[in-house]
Chain A
Amino acid sequence: MTAEKSQMRRYWLPFLSVLCFAAASPAHAYIAYISNEKGNTVSVIDTDKWAVTATIKVGQRPRGIEFTRDGKFVMVAVGDDDTIQVIDTKTQQIVDTLPSGPDPELFTQDAAGKTLYVANENDNTVTVIDIQKRTRIGSIQVGVEPEGMAISPDGKILINTSETTNMAHFIDTSKREVVASVLVDPRPRFAEFKHDGSELWVSSEIGGTVSIIDPVKHVVTGKVTFSIPGLRSEAIQAVGLGITKDDRTVFVALGPANRVAIVDGKTHEVKKYLLVGQRVWHMAFTPDEKYLLTTNGISNDVSVIDVAAQKVIKTIQVGELPWGVTISP
C-alpha cells in the first residue's frame, strides 16, 4: 500500500462511517440502556443495529434504570453506593448523582419528570427527590424491603410494593402519606398501572402470581397464575411487567422459568409463553411498541421480542447479570 493510498483511506473513513450510520439510523432507531448488576456497567444498545454500541462504567450494583422525560439523561440506581447516578446520553459520561438515600433499587418519576420516587430497600423508606434541583425533598415510611414503584396516570397515587410485608402501598402524592395497603402474594416486586388507570398490576416473585388491584376500592379483583408443562411451580416467579398502550396485552417476566408470559389485558388469561434467556428480570418497549426488550440475568443477554408477531427475534449479549432496561423516548 502506498503512503498516498493509505492517506486516502484515512480521509475517506470518517465519511464512510458517517454515511453508514445515517443509512442505518432511520427515524425509529432508539437507544436502550441496560444495567448490569454484577458487571457494574451499563450497556448501550442501538435498536436498529441490535448491537451494543457502548459500555459505561457505573457505581456498584446498578439495578433500577430510567430515562429522564426529556431523554437527555439516564438515571441508574447503584444500590451498594447508596446513590443514583446520572448519565449524559450525549457524552455517555456520568455527570451527576441524586441523593437517593440508602440502597436505592427501583424508582419512578411523575409525568412532568420533576419528581422522582425511590425505593430504599434497606430502610423501609421511599425517598422523594426533585430531579431538577437534585435535592431530597421528603420521605415516606413503608413496609419491609420496598421494591416496586409505580405512579398512577393522573399522578395522584404512588404505589410502592414491599417484599417482606407483601403489600402494595397506595401513597397520596400530595400529602406523601400511605392511604391504603393491599395484601398480595409473597414478595411483590413490580407494579404498573394500566394506561387508563382502571387497574393496577402487581407481580409476586415468590407467590408466582400477578395480582390485579382496583385502585379505587383498594381490593384485589383478579389474579393471574401461570403453569408451564414440565416446569415445577416454584420456578415460575413473576417479576417485571409491560403493558401495551392500548392496555390490551400485558407481558410478564417469569424469572427462572426463563419465559415471558403474554396475558390478555381484559380477560387476564395467559395466551402464550415466549422462551427468552435465563432468569428474565425486567422489560421495556420501544416507544413505537414494535419491540419489547427483556433483561436475562443469568444468561447475560437481552431478548428482543417482536410485539405484533409475539416472537423472540434476537438475542444480544450484554454485561454481567443484566437487570434493568430503559429505552430513549
Chain B
Amino acid sequence: MIRALIGAIGLIFMATQALATDPLEVGIGYLRHAGVKETLSLVEQPAQNNGVAGALLAIEDNNTTGKFLNQHFTLTEVRLKQGDDVAAAANKLADHDGFIILDLPTDETLKVADTLRDRGTVLLDAGSIDDRLREQDCRANVVHVAPTRTMLADALGQYLVWKQWKRWLLVVGSHDNDKLYADALRRTASRFGAKIVQERTFQDTGGARRTDSGVTLIQRQMPVFTQQAPAYDVLVAADESEVFASYLPYRTWDPRPVAGSAGLVATSWDASHDQWGATQIQNRFVKLNSRHMTALDMQAWTATRIVGEAVSRTNSGDPKTVFAFIKGKDFSVAAFKGQRLTLRDWNLQLRQPILLSDGRMVVSVSPQEGFLHQFSELDTLGIDRPETKCRLQ
C-alpha cells in the first residue's frame, strides 16, 4: 500500500516535472489553394510555396525566440484543390490550430470567417487586398496583414504627385479586379490632386501567356494602343489579372513612364528592399528557400510573427488572450519597414509603409513627405476612420 502510494506520488512528481519542461505549443494553420497564377513575366512566376515559405521562416524565428521562453510553434499547411470545401477545411484546421493564416479569394475568406465565428479561432488574412473585407464586409475575427487596394493606390499616387506627374492616362483591364484597382486609383487621384486625362480599357481577348514570336507582335500592338492620347505625364495601368500592363514599359506611343500594375509598382515587399535591417531577413529567406522573398511571403511572415510576438508578450497560447493583446493599444510588430506596425482598431487592418519598386530597386517608400495626418501618417494610405463602412461585431 505504502509502496503504491510512494509510486503514485512519484508519478505525480514526474508528471508535474514534465509539465514544467514541456513547451507551450502554438499551432498555426495556413489555408490556401494549390497552384499558382500565370504571370506575364517569367521571372515573376511565383513558386509553389509562395507565401507559406514566409510563414515557415517566421515559425523558425518564433521558435528561436521560443527556445528562451519555452514556447514552440508549428505550421500546418492545407492546399485546397478544385472542388474542395473551404469551410470544411477551415473547421478541420481549427480543431488543432487556434490561429489560421488565409491566402484565399475574398468570398472564401468571408466564408471561413463566418464558419469559424463562434469557435474563437483568430484569422489572419495574408492574401486578399480587397477593401470590401475591411469595409462593408469586415469581420471581427479577421486581422488583415495584406495591404488594401486603396492603400497601394494611395502609396503610388502620393509619389506620382510628389514627383509632379499629375496628369495620368489610366488604362484598365477588363476583369473585375482590374476595375476595382482602377476605382482605387480614381479615388487616389481625386484625394491627392492628380488628373486622369483619359481612360482606356484593354480588353482581354484570351490567348497564350507565352509564345515564340510574342515580342514582335506586342511591339506593334502597344504603341498603337497608346497613341493619340491627350497630354499626360505618366501611364497608370490597372491590370491585376496580368493581361497587358507588363507589355507597356518602353512601348508607349509617347515616351512616358508606366506605373500601377507594371513599371513602378506599389507593394508590401520587394526582394531588393534592404533598408531598416531588411537585408537580414532577405538573407535568411534566400538561405532557406534558394529564391527571393515576395510580397505574399512577407505578408505571411508578418502574420506569423504577429502571433509569435503576441504569444511571447502574453506567455499564452490561448487564442482569446492572444487576440485581446493583438487588438490592444500596446501591440506593435517590427517588420523591416522603419517603424512599428500597428492595427487600425476600426477594422483590424495592419498599418504599414508601402514600397514602390521598379522590379529591380525600391524607388521610394510611402507615405511621402508632406502627406500629413492628425493621428498617423500611415493612415494617409487607404480608407481612413472617418470614411469607413466597417462596424466590427
Contacts and interface: CB of A to CB of B under 8 A. Distances in A.
Contact of B340 (A143, A178, A206, A256): A206
A178 B332 contact: no
Interface residues of B, number: 23
Nearest to B342: A234
A145 B277 contact: yes
Contacts of B201: none
B288 interface: no
Interface in B32-78: 61, 64-65, 68-69
A181 B61 contact: no
Given A163-B277, A166-B65, A207 B332 contact: yes
A234 B340 contact: yes
A216 to B, nearest CB: 19
B68 A122 contact: no
Given A122-B284, A144-B65, 5 more contacts: A121-B280, A144-B61, A145-B277, A167-B68, A207-B340
Given A143-B65, A181-B69, A164 B334 contact: yes
B16 interface: no
Interface in A103-151: 103, 121-122, 124, 143-145
A121 B204 CA distance: 48
B33 to A, nearest CB: 30
Given A122-B284, A143-B65, A232 B376 contact: yes
A208 B338 CA distance: 11
Interface of B: 61, 64-65, 68-69, 277, 280-281, 283-284, 305, 309, 312-313, 332-334, 338-340, 376-378
A236 to B, nearest CB: 10
Central interface residue in A103, A163, A206, A256, by most chain B CB within 10 Å:
A206
12 contacts: A122-B284, A143-B65, A144-B61, A164-B61, A164-B305, A169-B68, A186-B333, A186-B334, A186-B340, A206-B339, A208-B340, A232-B376
Contact of A163 (B309, B334, B339): B334
Residues of A contacting B: mostly:
loop
A165 interface: yes
A183 interface: yes
A124 B64 contact: yes
Contacts of A164: 61, 65, 280-281, 305, 334
A29 to B, nearest CB: 36
A55 to B, nearest CB: 25
Given A143-B65, A186-B340, A234-B340, A122 B280 contact: yes
A230 to B, nearest CB: 11
Contact of B64 (A122, A143, A207): A143
Contacts of B334: 163-164, 166, 186-187, 205-206
Nearest to A164: B61
Contacts of A207: 332, 340
A200 B325 CA distance: 27
Given A165-B68, A166-B312, A183-B312, A234 B280 contact: no
A185 B312 CA distance: 11
B264 to A, nearest CB: 23
A115 B106 CA distance: 57
Size class of the contact patch on chain A: 20 to 34
Central interface residue in B313, B338, B340, by most chain A CB within 10 Å:
B340
Central interface residue in A164, A165, A167, A183, by most chain B CB within 10 Å:
A164
B64 A144 contact: yes
B173 to A, nearest CB: 35
Contacts of B65: 143-144, 162, 164-167
A43 interface: no
A178 B339 CA distance: 29
A237 interface: yes
A234 B340 CA distance: 6
Contacts of A187: 277, 334
Nearest to B341: A206
A234 B64 contact: no
Contacts of A235: 339
Contact of B68 (A143, A205, A208): A143
A61 B43 CA distance: 30
A164 B346 CA distance: 27
A237 B64 contact: no
A317 B312 CA distance: 43
Nearest to A121: B280
A145 B340 CA distance: 17
A187 B333 CA distance: 9
The 4 tightest CB contacts between A and B, nearest first, are A181-B68, A234-B339, A165-B65, A206-B334
Central interface residue in B61, B69, B312, by most chain A CB within 10 Å:
B61
B242 to A, nearest CB: 33
Nearest to B340: A206
A298 to B, nearest CB: 12
Central interface residue in A144, A145, A183, A187, by most chain B CB within 10 Å:
A144
A183 B376 contact: no
B171 to A, nearest CB: 35
Nearest to A163: B277
Contacts of B61: 144, 164-165
A163 B376 CA distance: 24
Contacts of B68: 143, 165, 167, 169, 178, 181
Interface in A155-182: 162-167, 169, 178, 181
A121 B336 CA distance: 14
Contacts of B281: 164
A162 B333 CA distance: 14
Contacts of A208: 340
A64 to B, nearest CB: 15
A232 B367 CA distance: 13
